[in-house]
Structure 1
Amino acid sequence: MKYYEWEAEVTEAVAEAMAISHSDASGIVEAQPFYMQQSWGKGMDAQQTATKILSAAKAE
């Protein structure tokens, strides 16, 4: 899987979890570059990454 495909899956998972639009979810994902890079480097799947991003977004 390529990074952009994985990133799209993360965005979709965030959109579904929060019941928001894809564009809103994209903004949330783009605001968490550290977690995206860390998760990609660790080989985490999209759902695990979405969970991590949602936790980080709620903490802010």
Structure 2
Amino acid sequence: MPKYFEWEDAVIEQVAEALDVSHSDASGVVGAQPFYMQQSWGLGLNAKQTATKILAAAQAE
């Protein structure tokens, strides 16, 4: 299992690719969803699964 910061960086990369935005912009999107980050880490979801949850949550706002 990766360390949290490695997993978080992988989530940010997935979001950046999905939205076609910079790493820093994707970091802002991920940072705005602390609940889903914490929940996904606790459930052992991978970066792609977590990015999917975060993108869905961000689009619902």
Q: What stretches of structure 1 of length at least 5 have no aligned partner?
A: none
TM-score with structure 2 setting the length = 0.98
Divergent runs of 4+, >3 A: none
Partner of 2:58: 57
The number of equivalent residue pairs is 60
Unmatched tracts of structure 2, length 5 or more: none
Q: Percent identity at matched positions?
A: 72
Looking at structure 2, the residues matched to 55 and 17 of structure 1 have their Cα atoms a distance apart, in angstroms, of: 11
* SS across alignment from 2:55: helix
Distance apart, 1:6 and its partner CA: 0.1
The CA RMSD measured in Å over matched residues stands at 0.2
Letter in 2 for 1:58: Q
TM-score normalised per structure 1: 0.99
- Aligned position for 1:24: 25
